[in-house]
Amino acid sequence: MASPFVIGQTKLPIQQAIENSYPLTKPSADHKDIVTPGAVIDLLKDNLTMYSVAAAAPGNVTYEDGKFKASGFSKLMNFHATGTPNTTSRTFVAGEKFWLIGVNVRDDGAVLEFISDPMNDIRYKVFVKYPFPKGTIPPPDAVMAMISQTVKAEPVDNAQGSGAAQPAAPSAPPPAKMADIAPPPPPADAPPAAPKSISLGQTKDQVAAMFGPPTKIVNLSTKEIDYYPDMKVTFVKGKVTDVQ
pLDDT digits over 204-236, tens only? Answer: 888 888 888 888 887 887 888 888 888 888 888
Within a domain: 41: yes
CA–CA dist 5, 194 (Å, integer): 118
Overall domain count for the chain: 2
pLDDT digits over 9-26, tens only? Answer: 589 999 999 999 999 999
220: Cβ contacts below 8 Å, ≥ 6 apart: none
**Are 101 and 208 part of one and the same domain?**
no
CA–CA dist 64, 52 (Å, integer): 23
pLDDT digits over 77-122, tens only? Answer: 554 444 445 558 999 999 999 999 999 999 999 999 999 999 999 9
Instruction: Identify the domain containing residue 216 by its residue range.
Output: 204-243
- Nearest-5° angle of CA 18, CA 94, CA 156? 45
**Are 94 and 209 part of one and the same domain?**
no
Within a domain: 183: no
**Are 67 and 131 part of one and the same domain?**
yes
**Are 127 and 230 part of one and the same domain?**
no
pLDDT digits over 143-170, tens only? Answer: 999 999 999 999 987 545 444 434 445 5
**Are 34 and 130 part of one and the same domain?**
yes
pTM reported for the whole predicted model? 0.59
Within a domain: 193: no
Within a domain: 130: yes
